[in-house]
Amino acid sequence: MTMIDIEDKPSSLWRDAWRRLKRNKLAVAGLAIIAALVIVSVFGPWLSPYDFLSQNLDLRNQPPSSQHWLGTDDLGRDVMSRLIYGARTAFMVAVGVTIIAVLIGVILGAIAGFYGGWFDRFVMWFTDITMSVPQLLLVVVINASLKQPISLWMEARYMETLNPIYRNTQIVDFVLVFGAMALITWPPYARLVRAQVLSVRQRPYVTAARALGLTNRLILTRYVLPNAMGPLIVAVSAGLGTAMVLESAFSFLGVGVTPPTPSWGNMISDGLRVWTNYPHLLAAPAAVLAVVTVAFNFLGDGLNDALNPKGQK
């Protein structure tokens, strides 16, 4: 009988993945940039040199200087402060949207893949339809049709209760932006999870669990889903970057976060109008967006290799 060393440290599955991830320099760089983004978003108000809203009309469209490291915009607002505050928007949107989309995708995809039948056909039909509608169009439609009714309802609630929370336009913004973006980003997650569940449910340990008389729900949540998560983690990492780009794209087109709340997208949009004269107004937010997006993709690739060691070489 072979004696096996029992290590008392938990799950070496994840430890091994972490060890492999650490060896990948690009992934570590991506992780560092993302960590920096998280810190900046959380501690933004304490880090930014100026208030992101305070205007200084004497100092409009300044080039970078020692007072304003990244210059000022057309209203004399400090670009760096706005970028820092925009990181908060970008991060919140990316995380919020991804959480909602992943929840929808995991629930629908797992049930569809595990139980099959009419629900599976319905979910697949629904994802196909959602994916076939042009994303931008859908978001514009949602924004155009829902923004006013929600704002009016909020205003009415404010008149009733005088609770200032109903006057906060940021809430409407985020609900609409999050909702609309989650609505267009969930289908790939649902498909991915369904495909994974379809393959995992054929594994011998699932049959063994059935033979033990475990309930379907338990088999799905303890046996199938945990073993189907690897590719989802990779997809989420890349999806966070995609959600940030999407938010910027919508803000750029004016259907994202409403000004004056800074978002990298509407900063790019504003900068684009004057870029021939003041290129730094476009360059700063565009560069930050590009770097962060690339960081998420590096991390995603690194996770992919770390979680699927067989796929390497």
Partner 1 sequence: MTLLDIKGLTIDIARDTGPARVVDGIDLAVMEGESLGIVGESGCGKSLTMLSLVGLLPNRIRATGGQALFGGRDLLKLSAKELRKVRGSEIGFIFQDPMTSLNPVIRIGDQIAEALIYQKGLTRAQAKDRAVELLALVGIPAPEERANAWPHELSGGMRQRVMIAMGLAGNPKLLIADEPTTALDVTIQAQIVDLVRELKDRLKMSVVWITHDLALIAGLADRIAVLYAGTVVEDAPVDAIFDRPTHPYTRALLGSLPTLAGAAMERLPSIAGTPPEPGRRPPGCPFAPRCAFALPSCREAVPKLQSVPGNARHKVACPVMLEANV
Task: Enumerate binding residues for partner 1 (CB under 8 A).
Answer: 1-8, 11-13, 203-205, 207-215, 218, 222-223, 226-227
What gap in Å lies between CA 26 and CA 32, rounded to an integer? 10
Helix (H) or strand (E) holding 45: helix 25-47
Smallest gap from Cβ 190 to partner 1, in A, equals 22
Smallest gap from Cβ 264 to partner 1, in A, equals 38
Smallest gap from Cβ 198 to partner 1, in A, equals 11
Smallest gap from Cβ 222 to partner 1, in A, equals 7
| Cβ closest to partner 1, residue 16 vs residue 128 | 16
| Cβ closest to partner 1, residue 164 vs residue 213 | 213
Smallest gap from Cβ 247 to partner 1, in A, equals 34
H, E, C per residue of 65-103? CCCCCCCECCCCCEHHHHHHHHHHHHHHHHHHHHHHHHH
* 202 CB-side CA count, 13 A: 6
Smallest gap from Cβ 213 to partner 1, in A, equals 3
What gap in Å lies between CA 303 and CA 309, rounded to an integer? 10
| Cβ closest to partner 1, residue 13 vs residue 291 | 13
| Cβ closest to partner 1, residue 161 vs residue 215 | 215
| Cβ closest to partner 1, residue 13 vs residue 137 | 13
How would DSSP label each residue in 172-239?
HHHHHHHHHHHHHHHHHHHHHHHHHHHHHTTSHHHHHHHHTT--HHHIIIIIITGGG-HHHHHHHHHH
| Cβ closest to partner 1, residue 129 vs residue 208 | 208
